[in-house]
Amino acid sequence: MISKQPTGSTKSPLEGVVVADFSRVLAAPLTTMMLGDLGADVIKIERPGKGDETRSWGPPFTGDGQSAYYLATNRNKKSITLDLNDEDQCAQARSIALSSDVVIENFRADTMQGFGLDYDSLKTDNPGLVYCRVSGFGNKLGRDLPGYDFMAQALSGLMSITGDPAGSPMKTGVAIVDVVTGLHATIGILAALFERQRTQLGQMIEVNLFSSALASLANQASSYLAAGVVPTRMSNQHPNIAPYETFATATTAIVITVGTDDQFRQLCIVLGVEHLAEDARWSTNADRVLNRDGLIEELEAMLSARPCDHWLNELRKHDVPCAPVNDIQQAFVLAEQLGLDAVQELLREDGSGISTVSNPIDFSRTPVSYRLAPPDLGADTDRVLEWLSSIGGATSPEK
């Protein structure tokens, strides 16, 4: 049976919602993990023998051979293996979809139609179904383009504004377009579930990497659309604020993020160059952006004379926003020091444990739950089929 496991005496926000997850890799699996964290029962439907591609993406792997990549987005799910090319198993997959509140998939265009698992094929028997399709470039002229984060970063212009001006365009250090797309898909699904409470009707949601990448450009996109300015790579500088970048010190780099004129004056006081704040070239943020190069030379000449830790201490005393450049290990140490509970330890069925990054949403009354470690391939096949049998593989399930 598909178990509903409340956290203590308090239910999670999506408890009772069933999600049929036909997705793989990152964007859509991140979506279903978010829904699972919020209490939904997520059934991950995978190919026999192979499963989600990320199961083999590595190293690194855990000691028992689990891909760290796969573990990143697959907690709070149950795994069932079904061969959709097999008529009986495809029928089981259809029954799961028809018994679910949400279906999500990210196959190539028309793949799900071939199995009778597309929205149009399911909505008649399950009019309340919320169906989310995640693609690379939408369902029109880009429908046949492969959906890879790296391609979306390149084609959207994101890489053109990332990296050193004298170097090559760079992708970000994580598949950020996949992540943003997964969050957009989550928002769309939650909105559709909320709207369904009024109408009792589901709907089709489409989210694509390219549109998500364009939306993520934020102020950079607005610079082009509102002012005709095509942004370029500026290393760690901010196109609209100065000084807002990394600076060399006598030891390691420091990040200084001055967002107001008062903060700039305080920075100048700490560095012993108060006259810079009175200079007409730099007295306002707009002036500092237009005359950035000379200002940066002045500031770095002072910052390079002392260690990073010295400047961190002095700048913080004067409420000037600043930070060291941490590696990921240092970031998790800091999270612990700040009491953010950024890591969750999950027990697997064999008694071993894995560490995963906490969901960042903190509810006051209906908390996020961490019920299930990322499942082994097909680990819950019998359990899911037993649940399906218990409801008769209904084509019009009660919600």
Active site residues: 178
Q: Are 148 and 123 spatial neighbours (Cβ–Cβ below 8 Å)?
A: no
| CA 239/CA 253 separation, integer angstroms | 20
Q: Are 243 and 295 spatial neighbours (Cβ–Cβ below 8 Å)?
A: yes
**E-only strand ranges, the chain:** 18-21, 41-46, 77-81, 102-105, 130-135, 203-208, 244-247, 254-257, 322-324, 343-347, 353-357
Q: Are 242 and 289 spatial neighbours (Cβ–Cβ below 8 Å)?
A: yes
| CA 170/CA 8 separation, integer angstroms | 46
| CA 360/CA 342 separation, integer angstroms | 8
| CA 282/CA 278 separation, integer angstroms | 7
**E-only strand ranges, 203-253:** 203-208, 244-247
ω into residue 307 within 30 of 0, thus cis?
no
| CA 122/CA 170 separation, integer angstroms | 42
Closest CA to 356 of 337, 339, 332: 332
- The owner of tokens 């953010």 is 340
